[in-house]
């Protein structure tokens, strides 16, 4: 069981971001993340593992400092061996928040998966540390991770590739760059394989601030698509062949914008 699935009142926020978040003119999402982490005195660990660009971590470190955070540090987990680095582990142990950058989520899962670092992030989140991830970092947050897939609106058996994620929660499956990259079909496909979870499709510059009681608040300039398969009455996934469309009956859909809310326990959505 994921540590943060124990309904512990002290669990930190889980904050998946759809990618391409505004960083300079009105960094509303990052400002909110920093605020819940404690403001200027917050201690933020930045994990740029998903990115192949050498300056990704440093750029976020500079950005957080420009916004006003006094303590922000890049944790360059480039290999599984790095995930046992005592200095990095100690920094996470004392952090108020961890930020996972974008890139390739398989770089995250194959580097961090099963390591002391992944275990520590789960324990710290369960104890109150906040965890945010943008783009690939957002996809990596839940137990069931979308590793890749095809564009399009109609689900099909071969439309998505799944892999184990970080495991902060098993209640959600997250997809990012959602509207911009036409990923409705692949999130539906992922949910057809895992109909116990709720799907969260994040537009760019849009975040889901998920509290300890799994209440989602939308922050940012885009929308979030909530796909609720809890009342699914029929799925043809079991007999569909590669490339064939899949029939799903009874799926509920919500589109939420800034201020909108959704709670996983009650399965209720509200505009604000």
Strands 97-100 and 130-134 turn out to be: parallel
Question: Which of 51, 135, 156, 235 does the annotation list as catalytic?
Answer: 135
Which stretch of DSSP H or E encloses residue 98?
Answer: strand 97-100
Nearest-5° angle of CA 101, CA 152, CA 204?
A: 30
143: how many CB neighbours lie within 10 A of its CB? 19
Catalytic annotation present for 254 = no
| Residue 192: Cβ within 10 Å count | 24
Give the number of other CB atoms < 10 A from CB of residue 103: 20
Catalytic residue among 130, 144, 177, 254: 177
Q: Per-residue b/e over 168-188, b at no fewer than 16 CB within 10 Å?
A: bbbbbbbbbbbbeeebbbbbb
Tell me which of 204, 217, 235, 254 is the catalytic residue: 204
Active site residue 266: no
* Residues pairing with 208 in the sheet: 218
Q: How far apart are the C-alpha atoms of 197 and 166, rounded to whole Å?
A: 16
Judge whether 177 counts as a catalytic residue: yes
Helices (H), 70-156: 86-93, 105-112, 116-126, 136-140
* Cβ neighbour number for residue 15 with a 10 Å cutoff: 26
Length of the chain: 272
Q: H/E/C letters for each residue in 133-194?
A: EECHHHHHCCCEEEEEECCCCCCCCCCEEEEECCCCCCCEEEECCCCCCCCHHHHHHHHHHC
Kindly list the catalytic residues.
135, 177, 204
């Amino acid at each position: 069981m994921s540590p943060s699935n124990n309904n512990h009142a002290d669990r930190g926020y889980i904050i998946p971001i759809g990618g391409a978040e505004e960083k300079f003119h009105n960094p509303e999402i990052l400002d909110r993340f920093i605020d819940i982490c404690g403001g200027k005195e917050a201690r933020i660990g930045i994990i740029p593992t998903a990115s192949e660009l050498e300056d990704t971590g440093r750029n976020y470190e500079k950005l957080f400092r420009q916004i006003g955070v006094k303590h922000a540090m890049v944790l360059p987990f480039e290999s599984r061996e790095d995930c046992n680095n005592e200095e990095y582990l100690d920094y996470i142990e004392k952090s108020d928040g961890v930020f996972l950058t974008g890139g390739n989520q398989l770089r995250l899962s194959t580097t961090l998966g099963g390591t002391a670092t992944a275990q520590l992030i789960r324990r710290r989140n369960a104890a109150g540390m906040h965890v945010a991830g943008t783009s690939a970092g957002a996809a990596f947050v839940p137990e069931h991770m979308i590793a890749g897939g095809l564009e399009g609106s109609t689900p099909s058996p071969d439309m998505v590739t799944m892999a184990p994620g970080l495991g902060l929660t098993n209640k959600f499956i997250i997809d990012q760059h959602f509207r911009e990259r036409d990923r409705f079909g692949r999130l539906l496909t992922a949910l057809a394989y895992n109909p116990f979870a709720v799907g969260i499709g994040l537009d760019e510059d849009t975040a889901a601030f998920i509290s300890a009681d799994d209440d989602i608040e939308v922050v940012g300039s885009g929308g979030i698509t909530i796909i609720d398969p809890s009342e699914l009455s029929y799925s043809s996934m079991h007999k569909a062949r590669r490339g064939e469309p899949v029939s799903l009956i009874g799926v509920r859909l919500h589109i939420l914008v800034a201020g909108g809310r959704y709670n996983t326990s009650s399965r209720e959505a509200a505009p604000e």
